[in-house]
């Protein structure tokens, strides 16, 4: 399968034109739009994103801590305005396992060129989660399990213990 890298002007728009102080949400929205347009131009009806288990947990924490709501993205999302389906096939894998696979199999990696990378709220939450996991081993698994059993939009509540 060919690898395409689509150049955009998202960075300059966000940092130079709009001078965003908290660029992540707008950047994510603009990147999704650019990706959807690229997929449609190439006749695709699905977009596979590389989100993993750690992304799910971090997104839940970001929503809870900074928005005051319990929310995160779902494994599969149908976008009715574009008729595209977004899938996240790596969602049940931990970031460390994906990195190990990539290294072992010399999979090409395209690193995020964002100048805010490493200084974001997401990075803060990633570090916080790492520290919490040191004190409470298994925390990631319990949090991910809670998401799977929840009523969060797009996540199927576990049928275990429920009448069908």
Please write the tens of the pLDDT for every residue from 72-126: 999 999 999 999 999 999 999 999 999 999 999 999 888 877 877 778 899 999 9
* Unique residue bearing structure tokens 């190439």: 42
78's CB contacts (< 8 A; 6+ apart) are 84, 85, 86
Residue 47, strand partner residues: 86
Q: Where are the alpha helices (DSSP H) in the chain?
A: 10-12, 24-41, 53-62, 95-104, 121-135, 139-148
Residue 79, strand partner residues: 84
Domains (range + CATH), the chain: 50-148 (3.40.50.620)
Of 14-18, 51-55, 130-134, the poorest mean pLDDT is in 14-18
Question: In the prediction, which pLDDT does 142 show?
Answer: 96
Question: In the prediction, which pLDDT does 158 show?
Answer: 52
* pTM score, whole prediction: 0.85
Q: Would you say residue 16 has pLDDT above 90?
A: no
Question: In the prediction, which pLDDT does 117 show?
Answer: 78
Question: In the prediction, which pLDDT does 116 show?
Answer: 79
* Euclidean distance between CA atoms 129 and 19, whole angstroms: 30
Residue scoring higher pLDDT (102 or 4): 102
Q: What is the mean pLDDT of the chain?
A: 89
* Euclidean distance between CA atoms 112 and 43, whole angstroms: 26
Q: Would you say residue 154 has pLDDT above 90?
A: no
Strand ranges of the sheet holding 76-79, from the earlier edge strand across to the other edge:
46-48, 84-87, 76-79
* Euclidean distance between CA atoms 144 and 133, whole angstroms: 13
Q: How many CA atoms lie within 13 A of 132 on its CB side?
A: 15
Question: In the prediction, which pLDDT does 159 show?
Answer: 46
Question: In the prediction, which pLDDT does 93 show?
Answer: 96
Q: Would you say residue 163 has pLDDT above 70?
A: no
């Amino acid at each position: 399968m060919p690898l395409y890298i689509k150049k955009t002007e998202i960075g300059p728009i966000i940092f130079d034109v709009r001078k965003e102080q908290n660029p992540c949400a707008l950047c994510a929205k603009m990147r999704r739009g650019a990706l959807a347009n690229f997929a449609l131009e190439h006749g695709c009806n699905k977009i596979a994103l590389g989100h993993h288990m750690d992304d799910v947990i971090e997104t839940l924490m970001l929503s809870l801590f900074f928005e005051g709501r319990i929310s995160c993205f779902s494994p599969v999302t149908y976008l009715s305005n574009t008729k595209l389906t977004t899938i996240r096939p790596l969602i049940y894998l931990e970031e460390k396992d994906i990195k190990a696979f990539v290294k072992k199999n010399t999979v090409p990696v395209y690193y995020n060129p964002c100048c805010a990378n490493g200084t974001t709220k997401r990075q803060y939450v990633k570090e916080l989660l790492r520290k919490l996991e040191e004190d409470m081993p298994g925390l990631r698994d319990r949090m991910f399990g809670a998401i799977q059993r929840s009523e969060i939009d797009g996540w199927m509540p576990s049928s275990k213990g429920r009448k069908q």
